[in-house]
A and B are shown apart, each in its own frame.
Chain A
Amino acid sequence: MQEHNILKPIRTVGIVGYGAYIPRYRLPAREVARVWKADTSGSLPGEKAVAGLDEDVITMSIEAARNALARAMIDPAKIRAVWVGSESHPYAVKPTSTVVAEAIGAVPNTQAADWEFACKAGTEAMQAAIGFVGSGMANYALSIGMDTAQGRPGDALEYTAGAGGAAYLLGPAEEAMAIIEASFSFTTDTPDFFRRANEKYPEHGERFTGEPAYFKHINAAAQELLQATGTTPEDYTFAVFHQPNDKFPRRVAASLGFRPEQIEAGLLVPWIGNTYAGSALVGLTAVLDVAEPGDKILLVSYGSGAGSDAFIIQTTQALVNRRNQAPGTKEYIERRTEIDYATYSRYRGKLTMK
């Protein structure tokens, strides 16, 4: 077997601040089923978070970034990169990240760019930030994964395609709430899910999105990282996997040897749905909200197209000292206003007026 170098910077990098954001509106799956007259005799997937009329990936990224800064307690002018990964950038040309950088006070001496890799654009940006900080080119870099996920009306995706995400301010290990010990990626050309330019909704290959896509890539990235670091599932208090639905993360966790209680804290899909580029990252904020210092966390994202980024993260004492300086993920989940399908259609621009 080929030897792989895991991603580990020269200078140890950690999460200096983190922040979640989940919009308040909730569309229950049973409401989607009602409109589309779907069979409701089986189990339906909970509900999903929906962005309001005046919300988009820019505003939501700013909310999450401000939460991260509140925990990091650093001068935003020191941030040398603002990177936003999403499938829902409001503009095709014009960065989300410059607006976010301006709003949080990171301009003008900063990198800013938008990232695209389906549901793992946010973790890809995080790896870039590890490189940026780990090489000494910057002290602080902000990576965000945020989405107002798209699902065609009537499509299976519509039940879960939700809104939300998280921001991670990476910086020197000495200031970190959690240390990022290592990372590893697994990428192939696998066309399981895609949205062409100028199309409003993604297309997917039905069951093809499972075995040869989600499971293959997450398993490979996770197994190689575990092997390379000589760790086993028993060494981890928590594991967070990309969560397009309730079943996939449970199955992949079990197949890797994780117990259900290791993934419970980070499994948010029944309450907020699949937040695409935000999915694994907002799962991680929920874990950081409840973890104890010294806990080890395995984070594995998945992006269609396809690839997975796996991370080993270990929390520090600073986590409990600073995490209460911004709203917890649970508070966002509990801040809930249920809407019906008609309101959802209006909020998400699904009514075509002409």
Chain B
Amino acid sequence: MIMSIKMNSNHDIVIVGVGMTPLGEHWDLSIRELALQAISAARAEAPEILPQAFYVANMLAPALSRQSQLGALLADFAGLRGIEALTVEAAGASGGAALRQAFLALKSGMVQSALVVGVEKVTDRVGAEVDAAMATMTDADYEAVQGITPTAQAALLMRRYLHENGAPQDALAGFSLNAHANGATNPFAMFQKAIRLDQYIKAPMVSDPVNMFDASPIADGAAALLLVNADSIPSNVDNPLVKITASATSSSAVALHDQPDPLVINAAVVSTRKALEQANLTPDDIDIFELHDAFTIISALSLEAAGFADRGEGWKLAADGAIALDGKIPISTFGGSKARGEAGGATGVIQIVELVRQLQGLAGKNQVTGAKIGMAQCLGGIGATAVTHILTRLHGQ
């Protein structure tokens, strides 16, 4: 039976508060302190809202912080003891998946307000321990056991992509250059420095052909969102309100070799299509696309999956400047995972924070002029999970 996507309730889900920490090596902050900073910042934007449900997005705490039950732990630390709280894990898509759970809870009418925090603490561990933890996002029985890592997967995809499309070795450089150019003006970014093409070309290989500037840096960080049903909006919120116009997720095979076509991120195709249908929009309507640029090759594949480019043509958008802040389809507007930093399960929440600031017109030097409709998409692994959200201003303007 095919079910059409119909909302049971027609009230809007509104983001009344956002907050995040800088991304980087927070050696002096534990996972709970990182989360609290983001939660406090988000709640400060709507202090009278007491969240009724709490969703934590995280991937690596059990492996790297020896901590599960982040829901209860972080709720307690944030002064919310007693609240309904749990962790949502979908590797790099955890952030979007947690927001999706909050969205569903609010849409159901069972709760009137919800708090989402994405948090990741990785830099207390180093080397092989981190690599092994990251590799848990692959298929443990068939991939990780052979020693594959997400970076090695990206290298396989990138080599195949360049080969199939007859693209030059530096075809994906534009994604890295764009991300670093945008990161340069983002005070929360891990790397606040633009790079040049010659630096990209000379960068050491991480996993040939993925070089240092093709791969995003793993960082500590947290971001939080405070959401309410439209009829619970407090009267005195300072910033323009942003609503969730669409929320859709899709899953696919975890193992790369189980993908019918590895160069098509099928879960991204499906979740984007579902989200656009919900919002009654086409790719042309999207002003900003915060995609999950864990690797430059993923940027190209995500643009293609979402319909911004034909198959094998995504890299050309980077080459001709279409992805810049003033381009046709701006991506990684605050630096993306490449320059802002990749915080695993927190990334999907960070994307939403950034998108909200863009739609509020509060993105400072990173502002995309006149941005009204933004789409965010985070991926688990090489796209086994894809979560897509479309955000718009609550009051058209």
Q: Which A residues form the contact surface with B (CB < 8 A)?
A: 39, 41-42, 204-208, 212
Contacts and interface: CB of A to CB of B under 8 A. Distances in A.
Contact of B123 (A41, A42, A204, A208): A208
Contact of B126 (A41, A42, A206, A212): A206
A42 B27 contact: no
Nearest to A39: B204
B145 interface: no
A41 B127 contact: no
Contacts of A206: 126-127
13 contacts: A39-B204, A39-B205, A41-B202, A41-B204, A204-B126, A205-B126, A206-B126, A206-B127, A207-B25, A208-B25, A208-B123, A212-B27, A212-B28
A205 B126 CA distance: 6
Contacts of B202: 41
Interface residues of B, number: 9
B190 to A, nearest CB: 12
Residue of B27, B28, B127, B204 with highest tally of chain A CB at under 10 A: B27
Given A42-B204, A206-B126, 14 more contacts: A39-B204, A39-B205, A41-B202, A41-B204, A204-B126, A205-B126, A206-B127, A207-B25, A208-B25, A208-B27, A208-B123, A208-B126, A212-B27, A212-B28
A204 B202 CA distance: 27
B134 to A, nearest CB: 15
Contacts of B204: 39, 41-42
Contacts of A41: 202, 204
B133 to A, nearest CB: 15
A275 B202 CA distance: 32
Contacts of B126: 204-206, 208
A41 B198 CA distance: 13
Contacts of A207: 25
Contacts of A39: 204-205
A175 to B, nearest CB: 47
Contacts of A42: 204
A212 B202 CA distance: 30
A42 B212 CA distance: 13
A42 B205 CA distance: 12
A266 B267 CA distance: 59
B230 to A, nearest CB: 46
B6 to A, nearest CB: 51
Nearest to A213: B27
Interface string B116-142: 000000010011000000000000000
A154 to B, nearest CB: 11
Nearest to B123: A208
A35 B392 CA distance: 55
A57 B43 CA distance: 59
A278 B148 CA distance: 41
Contacts of B127: 206
A42 B211 CA distance: 14
A96 B28 CA distance: 38
Contacts of B205: 39
Contacts of A212: 27-28
B211 to A, nearest CB: 10
* Ranked 9 nearest A-B pairs via Cβ: A39-B204, A206-B126, A205-B126, A212-B27, A208-B27, A207-B25, A41-B202, A39-B205, A41-B204
Interface string B9-32: 000000000000000010110000
A212 B124 CA distance: 13
A204 B204 CA distance: 22
Contacts of A208: 25, 27, 123, 126
A207 B25 CA distance: 9
A207 B123 CA distance: 9
Interface string B362-377: 0000000000000000
Contacts of B25: 207-208
A289 to B, nearest CB: 38
Contacts of B28: 212
B342 to A, nearest CB: 16
A212 B204 CA distance: 26
Nearest to B205: A39
A207 B127 CA distance: 11
Nearest to B202: A41
Interface in B186-235: 202, 204-205
A58 to B, nearest CB: 33
Nearest to A208: B27
A269 B285 CA distance: 59
B353 to A, nearest CB: 26
Nearest to A204: B126
A204 B125 CA distance: 10
B126 to A, nearest CB: 5
